[in-house]
Structure 1
Amino acid sequence: MERLPVDDKSTNKSVNLLVISVKSQVINKSHMTGVQQRATYIHDKPPKDKIGVMESAFVLTVMTLTVLGPSGWILSHVDEYKTRRP
């Protein structure tokens, strides 16, 4: 197999740009501790509306049925799907 000629200048430039971008990201975040980095999206305002227990239970029930309902239907009818001919 023949090797293609490699332009060392363009390779070095791309590597240098990569190193510079990585170093700048590290420098920008180096003054923050680990907890501060993860908690930058948390706001200090209280919620506008208080969510009640009934609302939480309703949403949890709907989400559970949405995810598990179709798969439960399919699993309960597997025998019918096996015997059905096209």
Structure 2
Amino acid sequence: MSGLLKTAAARVAPALRANMITQRATLYTRPAKEKIGTLETVIGLGMFSLAILGPSGWILAHLEEYKKKE
């Protein structure tokens, strides 16, 4: 029985691999075309911080209200 499985696997495996899509990463090694300013950096970091810390801060600020709910 194992010989039958090996034969079937040997014939089916290349057919299955032929239809696979090859994915390639797009990497650029050159410097950026435009410099990012200080204000843009500060705004970007502020928005990321707000997006990550905002919801947890909201929950911690309203923790007592969440405890009272039954």
Length-normalised TM-score, structure 2: 0.61
For 1:76, give the aligned amino acid: A
Show CA shifts across 1:52-79 (max 9, x none).
1111011101110011101110122112
1:2-81 matches, within 5 Å, as: 5-6=1-2, 7-8=4-5, 9-14=7-12, 17=14, 41-44=27-30, 46-81=31-66
> How far, CA to CA, are the matches of 1:12 and 1:51 in structure 2?
54
3-state SS in 2 of match to 1:68: helix
CA RMSD of aligned residues (A): 3.1
Query: Displacement of 1:84 after TM fit?
Result: 1.9
> How far, CA to CA, are the matches of 2:55 and 2:12 in structure 1?
50
Identity of aligned residues (%): 36
- Segments of structure 2 that go 5 or more residues without pairing to the other structure are 19-25
Show CA shifts across 1:1-44 (max 9, x none).
xxxx45241123356x4xxx9xxxxxxxxxxxxxxxxxx71232
> How far, CA to CA, are the matches of 1:48 and 1:42 in structure 2?
11
